[in-house]
Structure 1
């Protein structure tokens, strides 16, 4: 069920006095001077401020930059959709691999760099703790390190060669630019420190849902290591995936995950807690406040009628017909992941297939006023689910050759996911495991990154005039162009260098 815990809105860093089941709703009562001594409440307020960034991605700095949609957009699972090719033209150009430095998702760039800055402030406050136990400081420090690694990993995936900083910047607020490999090392350093601190539980008790756990740390580490293809880390990642599957989580009925009743379920390792407008809605004027998400409106069919569960939206992200056909008969994930509507039940829009993403679809009663309702759906974003750990195990064994060493076999891991999906056992071949990930994570922002790390980007090429989608992949397209506005802000030794292919 919905956990009514909400994120504080910070103009200046504030602090809360405790960390209980309402840790995100307590009014601020103290504050910390920049760089000064920090009480437990001041540290927690800094950490809470860093968590707040998770709420902002779908209307990132007033841009429609949902992290899962922006990830799926370049995959072979969905089309861009919307009213026409020019409706949110940036998104169409992304889907066609036709990007330029003046047209790139700056909203994500801005919110995640703000997130890094807030994490740095939180870590500074940990360093300046007064009258706080070492265990508590270690716990809060671990959460801040996790968030910094999480925000950095998205910038790293999208842009690769990026500026990075671990302390407050002074005017003119410029930082050194590093290579993608160097950024990987920074991310791993944060994750390694968390693991060494050993201060986070594998799973929090009721009331602290939404905070980073050791399971979330392991899941982020797996994503980063496997994307980097760092085989020197595969054995430890395999061990950690087995810890996660034995860490107090369990697979649940797939369809039950996505309504409000399935939020923070036993399969959920980390999710973002969105709330409807009545708890403080976003407005068109500001993407830096509020608790809701516009992703459901974005991906739902326009002017939908004759549904007792779903309501209409803007018609972006139609699912490709061939993806619907990838599911086996009886696979419960198909209907839970894809909605099919007859064309006379909605207004047909650009690149229409009749299929729409269902997991985060606009549900009736999920966007209560006040606030601008399309921006304020309460659908939680699931960041990590247990099934990913199972499929990571199967992949590490089958594709990467990691020894089982007392943990689950590839067959056992694959069987666990398929049994839950109500389909029979298949051999854990590379092709089957890749297909299983595609079926399992449709609409969750995984497919494009999987194709890139597997080297399967030839599957992204197409010449499909019927759906206005003609695109050719080149390896430099792994990274987007760095926003020209950001390059123009830098000078001298800090002058940003554009990613290759976009000069």
Structure 2
């Protein structure tokens, strides 16, 4: 677990203070004052602080903020669960598309704006570099542009029309609010910068696991372009997917092995957040390396065996995010992804909680011996969050060819891509139709925060409206639900030309 990225985090802790309560402010390192000369060490300190935002995606700002979980809550794969509808009320309302300015994902807002600010700090430090060789400097810049795009793309997906800034802000720390389309243009500029040339390697070496790569930037561009439905860039994105495929740097490993400790940074991993079982505490909202997600999604007071995999390696948690009863039915007989994606436990082997179905998410489930933190174990599991996987490369290519009518230039076909994903899962070849490609994405990425965004960009949102009183889910999705309400507390801080405007429908 002692990956390169941890070295960067230690550098950050030496010279970088935690984010302040104001989402647009961040303190400079002690070794590089704002606008001053920056040594290699000062730039790395800033870069480590920028990477650390990846590790706040579970508990930070005194809130539970897993972007994976929040995305899945809005899909048709899971329920909210937990103790009651009022247990983590914002998550329940999120699952019902019923947020407002006073009840929204303000923690996520703060985390990713802190990420934007920290990435700006890296880029500014690079502009003031002294004694840093050009190759290293170009890599630092590309990493910062990639991370900035990654953090901002989540703000863009959740809120659309957001404040944006690339310079250090002076009091009162306001920034202009851009439209979602304007933010899209900024995102493309950042990912294109990270992709261009050879500033980043396509894949890392083992000693650099956890750092950004060109392949990660290509995958991020694909998500951004495909969500925007920007047909003018589909050919570019398909070319990127072909480049990853033809590089032979990535392979589809055994599916179940991806999710345990030995599968971290495996042959199919393109980018993941490197969590370590240490550091987080209830009273320290902006520290540490561990993740709370396993505790959050595992059944309460578990004492039984997983019926699907036969494993006794799982342990209990808080009972959030039960998998819907109908979700396991999307898998064909013999599909090895089912047991790796979903846990099933007999009644009586755990304490049933709100919206209980007996099914739970397996990929990031709490596992024995994955948490040796000396304190606050619930916050400090070491399960890495897999952000980009090679399977997504293949299914992106299949979708671009079949659904969006793009022509591959290297002989890659949608059938080759779909067959590879299915063969690894132990199921037979089927025609690469639009319907089959969409269903394969659902099977492959269950519990990874992908399904909801796919449904929105495909326009297949009719499945999100439901009346299900047995599971306390009465919700209606329409276009006004595409974006969350901006936190009212942030609107109230602003005035004049920088006054934030609430999103339509709230």
TM-score band w.r.t. shorter chain: over 0.9
Kindly report which structure 2 residues correspond to 1:356-367, keeping only aligned pairs within 5 A, or say none.
Answer: 356-367=360-371
* Gap regions ≥5 residues in structure 1: 16-28
Kindly report which structure 2 residues correspond to 1:383-402, keeping only aligned pairs within 5 A, or say none.
Answer: 383-402=387-406
- Separation in 1 of the partners of 2:463 and 2:497? 40
Q: Tell whether the 8 Å contact from 2:3 to 2:210 is kept in structure 1 after alignment.
A: no
Q: CA deviation at 1:4?
A: 8.0
SS at match of 1:384: strand
Indicate the residue corresponding to 1:71 in structure 2: 71
Q: CA RMSD in A?
A: 1.5
Distance 1:197 1:493, change over 3 A: farther
Q: CA deviation at 1:491?
A: 0.4
Q: Tell whether the 8 Å contact from 2:239 to 2:408 is kept in structure 1 after alignment.
A: no
Q: CA deviation at 1:261?
A: 0.8
Alignment pair present for 1:408 and 2:412: yes
- Separation in 2 of the partners of 1:80 and 1:165? 34
Indicate the residue corresponding to 1:144 in structure 2: 144
Alignment pair present for 1:294 and 2:292: yes
Indicate the residue corresponding to 1:181 in structure 2: 181
Q: Tell whether the 8 Å contact from 2:4 to 2:207 is kept in structure 1 after alignment.
A: no
Kindly report which structure 2 residues correspond to 1:482-501, keeping only aligned pairs within 5 A, or say none.
Answer: 482-501=486-505
1:382-407 superposed Cα distances (whole Å, 9 cap, x missing partner): 00000000000000011000012224
Kindly report which structure 2 residues correspond to 1:438-449, keeping only aligned pairs within 5 A, or say none.
Answer: 438-449=442-453
Q: CA deviation at 1:58?
A: 0.4
Q: CA deviation at 1:118?
A: 0.6
SS at match of 1:271: strand
Q: Tell whether the 8 Å contact from 1:50 to 1:115 is kept in structure 2 after alignment.
A: yes
Kindly report which structure 2 residues correspond to 1:125-144, keeping only aligned pairs within 5 A, or say none.
Answer: 125-144=125-144
Q: Tell whether the 8 Å contact from 2:73 to 2:79 is kept in structure 1 after alignment.
A: yes
Q: CA deviation at 1:368?
A: 1.1
- Separation in 1 of the partners of 2:177 and 2:339? 45
1:165-211 superposed Cα distances (whole Å, 9 cap, x missing partner): 00111111100000000000000011112223431000111111000
Count of aligned pairs: 486
Q: CA deviation at 1:367?
A: 1.4
Kindly report which structure 2 residues correspond to 1:18-417, keeping only aligned pairs within 5 A, or say none.
Answer: 31-247=31-247, 248-277=249-278, 281-307=279-305, 308-417=312-421
1:283-340 superposed Cα distances (whole Å, 9 cap, x missing partner): 1112210110000000000000034300000000000111101100000000000000
- Separation in 2 of the partners of 1:77 and 1:448? 9
TM-score (norm 1): 0.94
1:54-78 superposed Cα distances (whole Å, 9 cap, x missing partner): 1101013111110100111100000
SS at match of 2:63: coil
1:386-433 superposed Cα distances (whole Å, 9 cap, x missing partner): 000000000001100001222410000101100110100011111111
Q: CA deviation at 1:3?
A: 4.2
- Separation in 1 of the partners of 2:320 and 2:62? 17
Q: Tell whether the 8 Å contact from 2:5 to 2:210 is kept in structure 1 after alignment.
A: no
Indicate the residue corresponding to 1:452 in structure 2: 456
Q: Tell whether the 8 Å contact from 1:8 to 1:52 is kept in structure 2 after alignment.
A: no
Indicate the residue corresponding to 2:10 in structure 1: 8
- Separation in 1 of the partners of 2:280 and 2:15? 21
Q: CA deviation at 1:85?
A: 0.7
SS at match of 2:441: helix
- Separation in 2 of the partners of 1:14 and 1:426? 53
- Separation in 2 of the partners of 1:323 and 1:451? 15
- Separation in 2 of the partners of 1:244 and 1:287? 38
- Separation in 1 of the partners of 2:115 and 2:10? 15
Q: Tell whether the 8 Å contact from 2:146 to 2:190 is kept in structure 1 after alignment.
A: yes
Q: CA deviation at 1:14?
A: 5.2
Q: Tell whether the 8 Å contact from 2:292 to 2:379 is kept in structure 1 after alignment.
A: yes
Q: Which of 413, 428, 437 is matched with 2:441 structurally?
A: 437
- Separation in 2 of the partners of 1:215 and 1:407? 20
- Separation in 2 of the partners of 1:57 and 1:35? 30
Q: Tell whether the 8 Å contact from 1:177 to 1:494 is kept in structure 2 after alignment.
A: yes
Q: CA deviation at 1:8?
A: 2.6
Distance 1:343 1:285, change over 3 A: same
- Separation in 2 of the partners of 1:156 and 1:373? 32
SS at match of 1:415: helix
Q: CA deviation at 1:9?
A: 7.2
Q: Tell whether the 8 Å contact from 1:14 to 1:42 is kept in structure 2 after alignment.
A: no
SS at match of 2:343: strand
Distance 1:12 1:483, change over 3 A: farther
- Separation in 1 of the partners of 2:494 and 2:62? 23
